[in-house]
Amino acid sequence: MMNHNKVDLKPMSLMSLILSFLSLIVISSLLFVPLEHNSRTILIALDTIICVLFLFQLSLDLFRTKHKTQYLKDHWIDFVASIPIIEPVRYARIFHILRVFRLLRSSQSLLKQIRSNRKEATIASILVLMVSLISLGSVFMLMFEGHNPNANIQTAGDAVWWAFVTISTVGYGDHYPITVAGKILAVMIILSGVGIFGMISGLITSIITEPAKLEQRRHEQQEKRERDEKINLLLQQQAEILKKIELIENKKEK
């Protein structure tokens, strides 16, 4: 039986597994936990970002699979669960979590899949880290700073903007923490942002240098083929010489 879900073992699908858990936490908080307006605004923005990433991952898998109709039949509920605004349908992602877990248990080549798709694995890691840092950073910063009358991070918009700017290590200075807890959080976000941009730099370098590496690999393979052909030719010539020597010896014996 043909496996139409092989694509689910790609690194992007592992990213969607992690984001599925995060999405369920966000939606449960929005539906069942009494939240302040600022906190609710942050969670809705986070849910929208996750929905966009889900649609991107599903579209990517749909594009590269050879069985598009079957993929749509198997994953239509994932597309529905990725529609922003309609919050309760996000619980349909439980089916996606169970599907990926089942594939992880039955897969014998997960690490091989990740090693063979290092660029995609890097992109997936960057996206997960960005979403996690922006969401957690803005929520905790608002918790630390929001109730301080002297703080300049008072709204959800301020907190999300601060998280974006801090992760990018730009640091405009229009919003900054004044509490001790806020400053410690800022240091952690800055260090994480440096790490993320190091990953991005490595990814860009890999993309730029890949054509040269491929050309070098092709050149080495061509040299190996030519060397093997020369060795085979020498072996054939040696065999012919040995045959001729053997014929001469047989004639002498007669």
Cβ(58)–Cβ(79) below 8 Å: yes
What is the arithmetic mean of pLDDT over 162-176?
83
pLDDT of residue 90: 59
Whole-number Å distance between alpha carbons of 80 and 20: 14
* Confidence band for 8, pLDDT divided at 50, 70 and 90: very low
Rounded mean pLDDT, 12-22: 70
Give domain status of residue 187, yes or no.
yes
**Residue 246: inside a domain:** no
Predicted local confidence at residue 250, as pLDDT? 74
With 90 as the cut, is the pLDDT of residue 184 above it? yes
- Quick: pLDDT tens for 39-94: 777 777 777 887 888 888 788 888 878 888 888 887 777 777 777 766 666 566 66
Residue 159 in any domain: the answer is yes
User: In the prediction, which pLDDT does 82 show?
Assistant: 76
Whether 22 is in a domain gets the answer yes
pLDDT for 186-195, tens place per residue? 999 999 888 8
Q: Which domain CATH number covers 47? A: 1.10.287.70
CA 58 – CA 72 distance, rounded (Å)? 10
**Domain membership flag for residue 219:** no
Q: What domain count does the chain have? A: 1
Q: So what's the pLDDT on residue 96?
A: 58
Q: What is the pLDDT of residue 103?
A: 52
Residue 20 has pLDDT above 80, yes or no: no
Mean per-residue pLDDT over the chain, rounded: 77
Asked if residues 168 and 129 have their Cβ atoms less than 8 Å apart, the reply is no
* Domain limits for position 91: 6-211
Residue 110 lies in a domain: yes
Q: What is the reported pTM?
A: 0.60
In a domain, 126, yes or no: yes
Please answer whether residues 43 and 26 qualify as being in contact, where contact means their C-beta atoms are separated by less than 8 angstroms: yes
Please, what is the angle between helix 180-253 and helix 118-145, to 10°?
A: 170
85: left (phi over 0), alpha (psi -120 to 50) or beta: left
Per-residue model confidence as pLDDT tens digits over 97-121: 665 555 555 455 555 666 667 777 7
Q: Quick check: is 154 in a domain?
A: yes
Which pLDDT does position 230 carry in this prediction? 87
